[in-house]
Amino acid sequence: MIITNGQGYQMKNTAFTAKLGRIFPALTHKNYRYFWFGQCISLMGTWVQMTAQQWLVYTITKSAFLLGILGVAQFGPMLVLSLFAGVLADRYPKKAILLFTQSALMIQAFILAALVWSGHIHYWQVLLLASTLGLVNTLDMPTRQSFMVELVGRENLTNAIALNSTIVNLARIIGPTIAALLMAGVGAGFCFLLNGISFIPVLIGLSLIRPQTITVAKRTGNMFKSIGEGLKYIIKKPVLACAVLAVLDVGTFTMNTNVLFPVFADQVLHKGVNGYGLLLSAMGIGSLVGALLIATKSHKEPNRRTMFSCALIIAALLILVFFIRSFFLATFVIACFGFFNIIFMNTVNSTLQLNSSDEYRGLTMSVYTLALGGTTPIGNLFAGGITQKFGPSVGFLMCGAITGMLLIAIIGRTRFVERKQ
């Protein structure tokens, strides 16, 4: 009886595992599982810290413009150094780089927690630590993105990207809620402490990973020459250039939720920190649904029509927020924003990685990082300035309108180039 039950359970478990492998083939790779499970915990802490940091600064300053300056400090290093980081990601073992960056991010979180608990936290301190965070993330992001192909290969790369987006957005749902509860109950310091602790599983997972292939480019020539060659490579491939232009537009003018959401929740919806956390969670829920949809359809090649359609819908949703005063309606629209946003980003990410050679993948993903996050300082200053003078509703309107107009220009340029060819 015991043996029969055991065998029955084993067969059932095997069938479940086989089905799971068909839906999420990236999880059949042991190295990816180490990476993915570590990220499941760490990203939760990251969103807890991001939420707490934005609300802490808004509480200290009551200024949308200074929130924008915080975004400049955090994402400014990406604008200046992303391309150099991409060259480093191509030239050195990615696992070693990630062990360094994840350790540095853990230390940064612990320092921020200590400052809050000291009772003498100031805006300039948060600004300095945000700059440090941005500097480390500049190297971490392209390395982490280009590391996935070494864990799962090209065949399962789209699925791995979608699964990673799934946990990012699950963390986006749960993280802000945890942060709101902690800030209301015990203060922001515990949020930063929790984030610091969350990096420990990541470091353990990275230490266990043994990549099947390690791609390292030759360290010949200076970095400026390597950057120039990589940029020429991207420009000469229309499929890469088209994706980069689209993400440059969306990354600059729609990724300003860190500036717009706190002020919108407080001044328009009148829901305070809890409303802010719920808006972030709503966006996370939409993004999670989108990421799961992509993961289950990862056998399909990414296409440009999906990329442009989602980008245009994102712009339209931001414009729609201008007319909203209902909290319920706002959460629904923001959830839709998250859904189409994650499909857009995954489509761009997969397009760039699948169409890049191994030699230039790190640099290509650093261009993606630059376009998506490096231009955020420009967008944050724009959104912060508009919001400070005209209010958050106008901030949403202007960001959506500019995004849409530039997308129409990019689509027109792409069709013009194709007709010439």
| Residue 229 resides in a domain | yes
**Number of separate domains in the chain:** 1
| Residue 17 resides in a domain | no
What was the pLDDT predicted at 110? 95
| Residue 13 resides in a domain | no
DSSP string covering 229-279:
HHHHHHHH-HHHHHHHHHHHHHHHHT--HHHHHHHIIIIIS--HHHHHHHH
What sign for the dihedral angle of Cα 269, 275, 277, 281?
Answer: negative
What was the pLDDT predicted at 329? 93
The whole-number average pLDDT for the span 63-70 is 78
At 401, the pLDDT band (50, 70, 90 cuts) reads very high
Write down the residue that tokens 């979180």 correspond to: 109
| Residue 98 resides in a domain | yes
Asked if 180 contacts 83 with a C-beta cutoff of 8 angstroms, the reply is: no
| Residue 94 resides in a domain | yes
Distance in angstroms (rounded) separating the CA atoms of residues 109 and 42: 12
Burial group, residue 320, by CB count within 10 angstroms (0-12, 13-18, 19+): middle
| Radius of gyration of the CA atoms of the chain, in A | 21
Distance in angstroms (rounded) separating the CA atoms of residues 262 and 114: 24
The lowest-confidence range among 121-135, 362-376, 384-398 is 362-376
pLDDT at 405 over 90: yes
CB atoms within 10 A of CB 409: 12
Parent domain of 327:
25-210+222-420
Looking up residue 310, the CATH number of its domain turns out to be 1.20.1250.20
pTM: 0.70
| Residue 371 resides in a domain | yes
Asked if 77 contacts 131 with a C-beta cutoff of 8 angstroms, the reply is: yes
Higher model confidence: residue 413 or residue 35? Answer: 35
Question: Which percentage of the chain shows pLDDT scores above 70?
Answer: 90
pLDDT at 107 over 90: yes
| Residue 5 resides in a domain | no
At 12, the pLDDT band (50, 70, 90 cuts) reads very low
| Residue 326 resides in a domain | yes
Q: Each residue of 352-388: pLDDT tens digit?
A: 888 877 777 778 888 887 777 767 778 878 888 888 8
Q: Each residue of 141-157: pLDDT tens digit?
A: 888 888 888 888 777 77
